[in-house]
Amino acid sequence: MESTLEQKLGHDTTLIEADSIVIRFSGDSGDGMQLTGSQFTDTAAFLGNDLSTFPEYPSEIRAPMGTVAGVSGFQVHFGCKEIFTPGDEYDVVVAMNAAALKVDLPRLKKGGVIIINTAGFDKKNLGLAGFADGVNPLEDGSLDNYIVYKIDVTKHTKDCLASSGLGMKEIERSKNMFVLGVLFWMFDVTMDFTIDFINEKFAKKPEIALANINTLKAGWSYGDHTEIFNTRYKVAPAHLPKGVYRNISGNHATALGLVAAAELSGLPLFLGSYPITPATDILHELSKYKTSNVKTLQAEDEIAGICSAIGASYAGSLAVTTTSGPGMSLKAEAMGLAAILEIPLVIVNVQRGGPSTGLPTKTEQSDLMQAMFGRHGECPLPIVAAASPADCFNTVVEAARIAVEHMTPVICLTDGYIGNGSEPWRFPAAADLKPFKAVFTTENNNPGGAFLPYKRDEKLVRPWVKPGTKGLTHRIGGLEKQDGTGNVSHDPINHEIMTNLRAAKIEKIADYIPLAKPDSGDDNGKIVVLGWGSTSGAIKTAVRELIAEGYDVAHVHLRHMNPFPKNLGELLSAYEHILIPEMNCGQLVQLIRAKYLLPAVGYSKVQGLPFTTSELKNKILEIIK
Amino acid sequence: MTTIAEQEVTPKLVAKDFASSMEVKWCPGCGDYSILKQVQTVLPDFGIPKEDLVFISGIGCGARFTYYMDAYGMHSIHGRAAAIASGVKGANPDLSVWVISGDGDALSIGGNHFIHLMRKNFDVNYLVFNNQIYGLTKGQYSPTSEKGKVSKSSPYGSVEEPFNPSELALGAKSSFVARSMDRDPKHLQMVLKRAHEHKGTSFVEIYQNCAVFNDGAFFAYSDKETKKEKALFVEQGKPLIFGNTEDKGIKLDGVTPVIVNLKDDGVSVNDLWIHDEQDKTKAHILASFFDTLYNGVEFPRPFGVFYSEDRPTYEVEMQNQIDNQIARKGKTSLDKILSGDKTWTIL
């Protein structure tokens, strides 16, 4: 594969150099589209492209085959420029069956490429996809505006593996590799990374490894030798900052952030968690880190997940519970306990569409108000939100820092979009991360008298005492406690004092977080787009494009949702318009309006899907024009 | 942790060393007073420094127990003490962890945590103060109240079958199941000692009198006039004998228990069921002497250690996995974790 591009072109093929390309791999849940997509992604990443991915799959593990409900998609946006979103529209769609085409055609650019597995377009599949009897999109001219490559992937895979000795089922499973081979050829990228991956994955099953590699190569050769393709693409490496990179998903970054936070705080890590989509990958990942002294407890339910973490925190661990919306609801009472105990705890909510079971595999930002207010009694908690897959790392480290330094449970919001999505990450060196060593109290803070577990320091923070500490035995609990002594108290004035102290302690965190500043644009002007969480990439792209087009637009993005940065009200009031896009019905916009009495305008999307850049650009222009 | 040298010079603690300065505020006649006293009485014998003792309670009258102990403690939320205790023990296996719960807290709102704690087998002592009533909320029937119980929430009698906690614990794979009562201090002390010695979750059901809402529910098992006929005290290796003049015994006919009169001709002590704490089948039958009549005969209510099994504890197995992986691979540096296996360099 060391031949020149011209030699490789071989036949009459046009080479298109593109800044960025969006490919959508789409097929049945069992077609291996997630693997195909992630292999293409890894290869693009190794070759120096910036990228962003968006896996999208049904909540059924194997939804009915061939149906629209069963379509599993993997979207990758890669380019030679900075990429902040998985892309609004597709340049290329791989449709393994008729249902996949039906789902993904609407977002394919006019003139875009469709690679069709014709075996997925027989009468049965057309029927399952809901095409009327006798209608076949491959034949009725409905695809005339696109470049369509029809390949009988199933047949070619079978031919390729006829003598492999594998059964039909194994052969069928290899067909995604054929498609991947075609795409590698089409984008002129090496197969080497995927071949290494296959050899590693199937180290114990060499016959399966060989079958996959042969099919992959067959796909490449098919592109190279058949003359049906008349277009190839070349995407140059991106000009990313120098350094060493890896690809990372948000859930993986969250897990690594927690391991790092444990080291930075000098505490052992304890995770109490119950499996729930789309947060479970954090539990999976942390379960592997035995050599980092990470203890994971798969609890009997969500409540036990947080309660075991409360117990571990009480015993002196950096304690964490991870979940998604329904689990947050179940954990609410225990969060109140942790708040009144005033012990450190990190609660990660990988948000999904709600209410109730809602859209388990789709994304949403609709738990902000729950994080703010979703507990009984006056129970404010600090909240941080991650902006991108890699940003989950910094955000969860920040959550742990606040928890340990301010003796409080902290809610860390991510969501399904960035939890499952991935991007290249210029990971930090351990030495460059700032430690926040936990301090345990071992001496009586009230010499001559009884130890005062609720005596506060200048941050209004009480001491953390590990059971096992001689001379400081004391009891804590969920009943209201007397200021200082921590003894049970039902005194009316004391309750008010304690309620205010707990709130003031959280407010005071604002003294220990960075001020807000624009991510793009000036610190005053016509309009500011205020975002939080996973809308970052789309807002950043939209705002930067508009600035490049000459508009007066700025973007401020919040990591700290409670308390807000101290200057936020002042900063926002320097703009004529404030637009707050959210994947909910307008939650941050209510908080901003209530707190600062500013006429912020919301822009909602609750489709289980992230904003597109063009949606945001149109909305911004609508306001300022 | 104290060193051996320090322990030698530390005077032995006495019961009152474990009493906190908080005034005990249970109703007069409440069985909780006795349970508190028996726990404080046996603790000095265990030789555990009080800073290594942790009491975790849920919600209910008995849950105030935690405040009355001079040790570390958390009075938590309703039903969740088992889960919190799992985290405490998992995080620091060196602590002696005690869960204080009640029939509502353990078996109703906390039922799920209860059964899973039994199965997981953290080395904690789980005391259930069973008074067969909701006391703190002023008198509703509980999951252990007898069917037909007239209470504030069941003025025409409850229509529910009660749980038999010991049976439930055995079914949930508890590695230690015992029953005692507030009004038999010596027996309760013995059972608490056994619970402490057992490595694994020790489930101890303690019949506890609620003087206000369910007075005398268990008096038949402690009053002189009825005790010998109504209660059966089991001891390892000893035959099952009860009755006013120790005249009755229980033998097994296959797996069917039969009450026999030792004065009858042809019946000998040698024929009787010998209590064996390691025999799970027998433990199940013993625990079922509750509301079941065998051949129309009411069996005496058993007390003592029904079942005791040595099996690895959760926290030890959890730590072993960590130790084994570190022994095999060494500690992984944070830099290695952050970089993962696949990286690329932009120059």
Is it the case that residue A9 has pLDDT exceeding 80?
A: no
Q: How much is the average pLDDT of A57-86?
A: 89
| CA distance, residue A397 to nearest chain B CA (Å) | 13
Q: Is residue B19 a contact partner of residue B37, using CB atoms and an 8 Å limit?
A: no
Q: Is B44 on the interface with A (CB under 8 A)?
A: no
**Among the ranges A153-167, A281-295, B2-16, B284-298, which has the highest mean pLDDT value?**
A281-295
pLDDT single digits (tens) A101-115: 999 999 999 999 999
Is it the case that residue B294 has pLDDT exceeding 70?
A: no
pLDDT single digits (tens) A157-178: 999 999 888 888 889 889 999 9
pLDDT band at residue B292 under the 50/70/90 scheme: low
Q: Is A308 on the interface with B (CB under 8 A)?
A: yes
> Per the CB < 8 Å rule, is B80 touching A334?
yes
Calculate the CA A70 to chain-centre distance.
Answer: 22
What pLDDT, on the 0 to 100 scale, is given for residue B18? Answer: 97
pLDDT band at residue A7 under the 50/70/90 scheme: very low
Q: Is A314 on the interface with B (CB under 8 A)?
A: yes
ipTM above 0.85, yes or no: yes
Calculate the CA B124 to chain-centre distance.
Answer: 9
Cβ neighbours of A472 in B, within 8 Å: 51
pLDDT single digits (tens) A342-385: 999 999 999 999 999 999 999 999 999 999 999 999 999 999 99
| CA distance, residue B102 to nearest chain A CA (Å) | 17
> Per the CB < 8 Å rule, is A428 touching B338?
yes
Locus of tokens 């049904």: A58
pLDDT band at residue A239 under the 50/70/90 scheme: confident
> Per the CB < 8 Å rule, is B325 touching A290?
yes
Which chain B residue has its CA at the smallest distance from A318's CA?
Answer: B91
What pLDDT, on the 0 to 100 scale, is given for residue A58? Answer: 79
> Per the CB < 8 Å rule, is B66 touching A450?
no
Q: Which of A243, A297, A470 sits opposite B346 (nearest CB)?
A: A243
Cβ neighbours of B112 in A, within 8 Å: 300-301, 304
Is it the case that residue A558 has pLDDT exceeding 90?
A: yes
Secondary structure (H, E, C), chain B: CCCHHHHHHCCCCCHHHHECCCCCCCCCCCCHHHHHHHHHHHHHHHCCCHHHEEEEECCCHHHHHHHHECCEEEECCCCCHHHHHHHHHHHCCCCEEEEEEEHHHHHHHCHHHHHHHHHHCCCEEEEEEECCCECCCCCECCCCCCCCCCECCECCCCCCCCCCHHHHHHHCCCCEEEEEECCCHHHHHHHHHHHHHCCCCEEEEEECCECCCECCCCHHHCCHHHHHHHEEECCCCCECEECCCCCEEEEEECCEEEEEECCCCCCCHHHCCECCCCCHHHHHHHHCCCCCCECCECCCEEEEEEEECCCCCHHHHHHHHHHHHHHHHCCCCHHHHHHCCCCEEEC
User: Using CB atoms and an 8 Å cut-off, which of residues 429-458 of chain A contact chain B?
Assistant: 429-430, 450
Which chain B residue has its CA at the smallest distance from A294's CA?
Answer: B322
**Assigned token pair, B293:** 């009549």
Cβ neighbours of A487 in B, within 8 Å: 22
Is it the case that residue B5 has pLDDT exceeding 70?
A: no
- Separation CA A500–CA A226 (nearest Å): 75
User: Using CB atoms and an 8 Å cut-off, which of residues 304-333 of chain B contact chain A?
Assistant: 318, 321-322, 324-326, 329-333
Query: Which of A198-202, A236-240, A288-292, A597-601 is predicted least confidently?
Result: A236-240
- Separation CA A121–CA A129 (nearest Å): 9
**What residue spans define the domains of chain B?**
4-226
- Separation CA A256–CA A52 (nearest Å): 19
pLDDT single digits (tens) A439-474: 999 999 999 999 999 999 999 999 999 999 999 999
Which chain B residue has its CA at the smallest distance from A295's CA?
Answer: B318
pLDDT band at residue A4 under the 50/70/90 scheme: very low
User: Using CB atoms and an 8 Å cut-off, which of residues 463-492 of chain A contact chain B?
Assistant: 466-479, 487-488
- Separation CA A397–CA A619 (nearest Å): 34
Cβ pairs bridging A and B (under 8 Å): 208
What pLDDT, on the 0 to 100 scale, is given for residue B106? Answer: 97
Q: Which of B59, B112, B343 sits opposite A300 (nearest CB)?
A: B112
- Separation CA B89–CA B124 (nearest Å): 7
| CA distance, residue B80 to nearest chain A CA (Å) | 7
> Per the CB < 8 Å rule, is B87 touching A311?
yes
> Per the CB < 8 Å rule, is B75 touching A309?
no
Query: Would you tell me the crossing angle of helices A250-265 and A280-287 to the nearest 10 degrees?
Result: 50
Which domains, and CATH codes, for chain A? 5-235 (3.40.920.10), 247-432 (3.40.50.970), 439-512 (no CATH), 518-624 (3.40.50.920)
Is it the case that residue A61 has pLDDT exceeding 80?
A: no
What pLDDT, on the 0 to 100 scale, is given for residue A25? Answer: 97
Is it the case that residue B242 has pLDDT exceeding 60?
A: yes
Cβ neighbours of B71 in A, within 8 Å: 473
The pLDDT > 70 percentage for chain A reads: 98
Q: Which of A260, A289, A312 sits opposite B88 (nearest CB)?
A: A312
- Chain B contact probe: residue of A285, A287, A292 with most B CBs at under 10 A: A292
According to DSSP, residue A484 is labeled B
- Chain B contact probe: residue of A239, A248, A271, A307 with most B CBs at under 10 A: A307
What pLDDT, on the 0 to 100 scale, is given for residue A27? Answer: 94
Question: Which residues share a beta bridge with A322?
Answer: A348
- B311-316, Cβ contacts within 8 angstroms, sequence gap of 24 or more: B311/B121, B311/B175, B311/B200, B312/B121, B313/B121, B313/B122, B313/B123, B313/B199, B313/B200, B314/B86, B314/B89, B314/B90, B314/B120, B314/B121, B314/B122, B314/B123, B315/B89, B315/B90, B315/B93, B315/B122, B315/B123, B316/B93, B316/B123
Is it the case that residue B3 has pLDDT exceeding 60?
A: no
Kindly report the CATH class assigned to B4-226.
Answer: alpha beta
